[in-house]
Amino acid sequence: MNILFTSVGRRVELLKAFRHSMNRANITGKIITTDLKRSAPASFFADAAELVPKIGTPDYIERLLDICDRHQIDLLIPLIDPELSLLSLHRQKFLDRGVTLLVSSVKTNEICYSKKQTGAFFKSVGVGTPKIYNISEIKERHFPLIVKPDTGSSSVGVHHVRDRTELRFFSNYIQDAIIQELIIGDEYTIDILLDFKGNVISIVPRLRLETRAGEVSKGISTKNPALIAAAKYVVESLPGAIGCITIQCFLQPNGEIVFIEINPRFGGGYPLSYRAGADFPSWIVESYLGNNPKVAIDDWEDGLAMLRYDDAIFVNAHELSLSSPSRERSIH
């Protein structure tokens, strides 16, 4: 079974998790990666790495299809938001080549990519979500507020604004900005896995203790039944959700859960859920092979803390050359 991870970037721990799970299940096959840059660290943990053009360029999909053909890819797993909708639109082209995409429906990806659509979805299914304001209706009592891009990710362009001066500046500075109510409480990221038929397999809430560049650096797995039940309701309300879905929310002091974001892909903090026992890689492979993973929705370790630190790999400089679109794995 050969798996292709696209836009692999720094997702070293995720690739290691898949390789470990495949080895443990005696599943042979290769892990292939793509990225825009030869220097993507995770690419050096793959069996082979391919360079691709920017997402959205005219030949991007054709390039991926060619890679799938050459490496006999069975399953393709994208890892960043901008290509999710694009891939979902071209699902049939990959199926015609024998490639299954771990990608939700076009509609779900549209809902999740736009913060405005995400907020409207939360309201439509009756769960708490921050109010989105028009700049003309904002009063002094509404401050502080959050200003962020409608289609941003990794916390890029997210700003807390304390007064009208900051509001005017950042709402003009940020392209397609939205102005949102500031929510206070404990912030959680919830990893959810659904099989290829949309059935929920596992849900793991992670308390975010500290983040860096939009990604959790310290967190704790938390077996909170209210969060698990609310996340299950939300994800089952999405039209055609499959695979790994990452939901962010705040648990307020009064017990209210306020949902802020959905990313229909692996979150950067998933390695904590994996180490806690939520073996998404094995369960994805089982589902792909037509088996139903027999696990409880909360079959993982409660209270496991992840404390991340910097690490490095070392490679020969010539391996970062752009002269070839692909290379075999080689690390020191």
| Domain stops at, among 181, 196, 212 | 181
pLDDT tens track for 196-221: 999 999 999 999 999 887 789 999 99
Q: Are residues 94 and 135 in the same domain?
A: no
CATH number at residue 139: 3.30.1490.20
Q: Are residues 202 and 94 in the same domain?
A: yes
Domain that holds residue 22: 3-112+185-328
Q: How many other CB atoms sit within 10 Å of the CB of residue 177?
A: 20
| Domain stops at, among 147, 181, 215 | 181
Q: What is the pTM of this model?
A: 0.93
Q: Are residues 100 and 199 in the same domain?
A: yes
The sign of the dihedral angle between the CA atoms of 38, 41, 42, 46 is: positive
Q: Are residues 71 and 43 in the same domain?
A: yes
How many domains, in total, are found in the chain? 2
What does the block give as tokens for 206? 């992670």
CATH number at residue 224: 3.30.470.20
Q: Are residues 173 and 99 in the same domain?
A: no
Q: Are residues 224 and 318 in the same domain?
A: yes
Can you tell me the mean pLDDT for 97-115?
97
Q: Are residues 90 and 227 in the same domain?
A: yes
Residue 63 pLDDT class (50, 70, 90 cuts): very high
Residue 332 pLDDT class (50, 70, 90 cuts): very low
Share of the chain above pLDDT 70, in %: 96
Residue 7 pLDDT class (50, 70, 90 cuts): very high
Distances 229 to 188, 226, 261 between C-alpha atoms, Å = 14, 5, 17
Residues near 21 by beta carbon (within 8 Å), at least 6 away in sequence = 279, 281, 282, 285
Residue 327 pLDDT class (50, 70, 90 cuts): low
pLDDT in the model for residue 215? 84
Is residue 120 a part of any domain in this protein? no
Helix (H) or strand (E) holding 274: helix 270-275
Q: Are residues 193 and 77 in the same domain?
A: yes
Residue 124 pLDDT class (50, 70, 90 cuts): very high
pLDDT in the model for residue 319? 83
Residue 316 pLDDT class (50, 70, 90 cuts): confident
| Separation of alpha carbons 112 and 109, rounded Å | 5
Q: How many other CB atoms sit within 10 Å of the CB of residue 15?
A: 22
pLDDT tens track for 275-300: 999 999 999 999 999 998 999 999 99
Q: Are residues 99 and 194 in the same domain?
A: yes
Is residue 311 a part of any domain in this protein? yes
Q: Are residues 169 and 312 in the same domain?
A: no
Q: Are residues 90 and 146 in the same domain?
A: no
Does residue 271 have a pLDDT over 70? yes
Is residue 321 a part of any domain in this protein? yes
Is residue 125 a part of any domain in this protein? no
DSSP track, 179-237: EEE---SEEEEEEEEE-TTS-EEEEEEEEEEEEETTEEEEEEE---HHHHHHHHHHHHH
pLDDT tens track for 86-97: 999 999 999 999
Q: 87-119: string of b/e by CB count within 10 Å (b at 16+)?
A: bbebbebbeeeebbbbbbbbbbbbbbbbbebbb
Q: Are residues 252 and 195 in the same domain?
A: yes
β-partners of residue 161 are 145
| Domain stops at, among 142, 163, 181 | 181
Share of the chain above pLDDT 90, in %: 81
Is residue 118 a part of any domain in this protein? no
